[in-house]
Structure 1
Amino acid sequence: MPGFENIHIELDVLNPDVYLNHIPQLEAQQIEIGRNIVVAVLGATIWDILVYIPDDIRIVKRSSRFSFVTFCYFFSRISAVVHALLGSMERAIPIYHLYPYVIFSSCLLSLSAISSSYIFLQRAQAIYAERKSPQKFFFISWLFVFGAGCLIPLGVHPSYIPGTYYYRYPGLATYVIAAPLVLLLFDTLVFIAISYKIYKEHSMDVDSMEVQRTSWIRLLSGRKLPLISKAVLRGGQQYYSATVGITVFAVIGLCLPKNFRLVGVAFSLVVIPLSASMAGRVFRNLKLLEADSSTLNIV
């Protein structure tokens, strides 16, 4: 029409060709939710490492030797933060060598969990230092944790989102669920064993059931315990209560239907950094208490 020759209409592209457009909408939404969870975990894990640098320096300076459990203390947290970093990157940028990238990330996840559980193992062996049979039993139990952790890299089969170089979660092998289950059983076993040992050593022989029940409750709360025993008991309670809940949710997440499993898997990634943080916290508190009091030799 006359007068409209110089009018140009520019249409905004409402649906650009981004990688999430190559998959169903529900899966794309779950990928975005999972990415947000992983980024939040990464920030919290970095903060946990930075805020305790002064205490870590004190531990290194006051340690007469750099033992393997001290190595696990540092390695579990560092591998957890590197795994969270890689997990954030694989959900945000193209990965051109996907298989070695994801396998390396999965190995860090497994090694962090194994290192954290080894710290818990050493606490149990220190409590039962005078008895060889429980020590062997705890070590054999930890070997099951080690073996179950090795299943994670074997059960990961990564793939790309069609037409892109972005990572797409294809699902895990069924046997991978054994890793968090075995870890949960091991933590429960060690926690009960440590609590029972402390209770037996500090309980009193009384005839009244009511007095015995009251004494048992006060012991579990730590109010009647010496300083070192209180630190060991409460440290175990904090570690177990923080990790057992999130581990149960992780197992549930891995068992969700395929349409909702992406969020469950992302949520399960919280388990390892939290476990490493809590195991490190318990170890750090005991080491600093040991250095201050010179009465406990955990490592």
Structure 2
Amino acid sequence: MNSTVEPIALALLPPDIARKLQVTSYIFCGTSAIFIWDAIWNLHADYKLLFKTKIGLPTLVYFISRIGTMVFVIGYTMFSTSPIGNCNKTGFIFSIFYPVGVSGSALLFFFRVRAVFFARKYIVWVFFALWICVFASCMVIPFAGRATNIGPTKYCIETQNKPFGGAAVIVPNVHDTLVFLAISYQLLCLSHAEQHGMINTIRAFVSGSYLPALSKSILHNGQVYYMVTVVGNLLTTIVYYQVGISPDYRDMLVIPNVVLTNIMACYVYRNTKLGLMEDPGTLLSACSRIEIQNNAGEHQVAQRIDLMKIQEGNKVNCPLPCNYSAEIEQMKARINSGR
């Protein structure tokens, strides 16, 4: 694969468009290299997810999102740098993998919401509806752009990006923001930080103070994911809607944004899945207030309980009735499996 567009093809374009196209091709090549490096770096972790853990829906979504992102990123890099010919059709095929990668990343984070709010089914359904909106908005990408050959060559250039394509960035941005705020609010409730005043509540929100180990892990991972995706989506949206920028240049940040979002979403999932599997004692040594739901459908709040450090083969030392302990074990299983 050529690292840049062939100079003969660039010579057929106006100088400003040729320069922007070459810069974009550099960015796409660098982004593809980052994604490939991340995939190679995490091969061992992916092997453990695939062969050392129970494969459930979240794990399948994890690998589907990785594959979808890889095909989209590498495909569009080839589209921008190689003489592939039949540009409009090829670009359409590659863009089909955009909703696979982006909505897959969002679905991984939805599984975390479902684990945290498992006792509040209406909240889970609201966020599932939000995820459906994410998937639907991403489906417009294959229809938002047009491409053509550069003169008589087989190199390609995008000639049109319709405004509604920005929905594929804005809707995931809204989804990620609401997911982060919802999980942060729930974890702050578990931390009892409100008992220590407003300043300490804000400190808990930013740094995770007063949070038990498991809750703090979820909050901090969510903060990293939120920061990367929201900032990336915001910058991509601003560039996409800049009227003075050529259509090809507007897509400059789409590929890096998709890659960063997928890398962070998969990092969070791997951290939780493999962390709970390999060192459950460290993550589950915590004091938490857990909302549960009894058989009559009434919500109850358990007293603050001590989840003693769990060694392999030992039971949880928990001063709660057996049915409460079972609920706690189910919550741990949901966080681990995404169910």
Greater alpha carbon shift after TM alignment, 47-56 vs 68-77? 68-77
Give, in whole Å, the separation in 1 of the partners of 2:245 and 2:194. 57
- When structure 1 is superposed on structure 2, of 217-226 and 33-42 the one drifting more is 217-226
User: Is 1:59 aligned with 2:52?
Assistant: no
2:198 corresponds in structure 1 to 213
C-alpha distance in 1 between matches for 2:198 and 2:222: 21
Does residue 225 of structure 1 match 2:211?
yes
Task: Report the Cα offset of residue 267 of structure 1.
Answer: 1.8
Query: Which residue of structure 2 aligns with residue 11 of structure 1?
Result: none
SS at match of 2:159: coil
Please give the secondary structure, in 1, of the residue aligned with 2:146: coil
Q: State the structure with bigger RCO (CA 8 A, min sep 6), 1 or 2.
A: 1
**Equivalent residue number for residue 43 of structure 1:** 33
Q: Percent identity?
A: 26
Q: Would the aligned equivalents of 1:253 and 1:268 in 2 still touch at CA under 8 Å? A: no
**Separation (CA, whole Å) in 2 of partners of 1:23 and 1:120:** 43
Query: For the residues of structure 1 that align with 2:252 and 2:194, how far apart are their CA atoms?
Result: 50
- Residue 158 of structure 1: how far off its partner (Å): 1.8
User: 1:17 Cα deviation (Å)?
Assistant: 7.7
Cα distance in 2 for residues equivalent to 1:50 and 1:42: 12
Equivalent residue number for residue 24 of structure 1: 14
Report if aligned partners of 1:253, 1:261 keep a CA contact under 8 Å in 2.
no
Name 2:184's counterpart in structure 1. 195
2:290 is aligned with 1:290: no
Q: 2:252 aligns with which of 244, 248, 266?
A: 266
* 2:75 paired with 1:90: no
Partner of 1:10: none
- Which TM-score applies when normalising by structure 1? 0.88
Q: Are residues 132 and 26 of structure 1, via their aligned partners in 2, closer, same or farther at CA, if it must alter by over 3 Å? A: same
**Equivalent residues of 1:77, 1:273 under 8 A apart:** no
2:167 and 2:253 map into 1 onto residues whose CA distance is: 17
* Amino acid aligned to 2:227: S
The whole-number CA distance in structure 1 between the counterparts of 2:80 and 2:193 is: 56
Tell me the C-alpha RMSD between the 2 structures: 1.8
1:140 equivalenced with 2:129 (yes/no):
yes
Name the aligned partner's letter for residue 226 of structure 2: Y
Q: Distance in 2 between matches of 1:134 and 1:118?
A: 15
Residue 142 (structure 2) aligns with: 153
For residues 241 and 63 of structure 1, the distance between their equivalents in structure 2, rounded to whole angstroms, comes to: 29
Distance 1:255 1:17, change over 3 A: closer
Deviation at 1:237, TM superposition (A): 0.1
Partner SS state of residue 269, structure 1: helix
Residue pair 2:193, 2:210 contacting (<8 A) in 1 also = no
Q: Does 1:182 align with 2:167?
A: no
**CA-CA distance at 1:63 after TM superposition:** 1.9
Partner residue of 2:295? none
- Deviation larger for 18-27 or 93-102: 93-102
* Cα displacement (A) at 1:116: 0.2
The TM-score with structure 2 as length reference comes to: 0.78
Distance, in Å, in 2 between the alignment partners of 1:32 and 1:89 is: 13
Q: For 1:15-67, what per-residue CA distance to the aligned partner results, in whole angstroms no more than 9, with x for missing partners?
A: x9811121111000000000000000000000111101111222233322x22
Give the drift of 1:121: 0.8
2:118 is aligned to 129
Change (3 A) 1:264 1:99: closer
> What is the aligned counterpart of 2:265 among 279, 285, 295?
279
Distance 1:224 1:218 in 2: 9
| Structure 2 Cα separation of the partners of residues 205 and 164 of structure 1 | 65
Q: Distance in 2 between matches of 1:100 and 1:72?
A: 27
C-alpha distance in 1 between matches for 2:230 and 2:182: 16
Q: Which has the higher strand share?
A: 2
Provide the rounded CA distance (Å) in 1 between the counterparts of 2:23 and 2:157. 14
What is the CA-CA distance between 1:205 and the residue it aligns to? Answer: 5.6
1:243 corresponds to 2:229: yes
Shift of residue 204 of structure 1? 4.8
Aligned length: 279
Q: Distance in 2 between matches of 1:289 and 1:165?
A: 48
2 CA distance for matches of 1:110 and 1:191? 21
Runs of 4+ in 1 over 6 A off after TM superposition: none
Contact 1:203 1:215 in 2 (8 A): no
Counterpart in the other structure of 2:294:
none
Structure 1 residues 227 and 167, CA gap change in structure 2 (3 angstroms): same
**Matching residue within 157, 160, 169 for 1:168:** 157
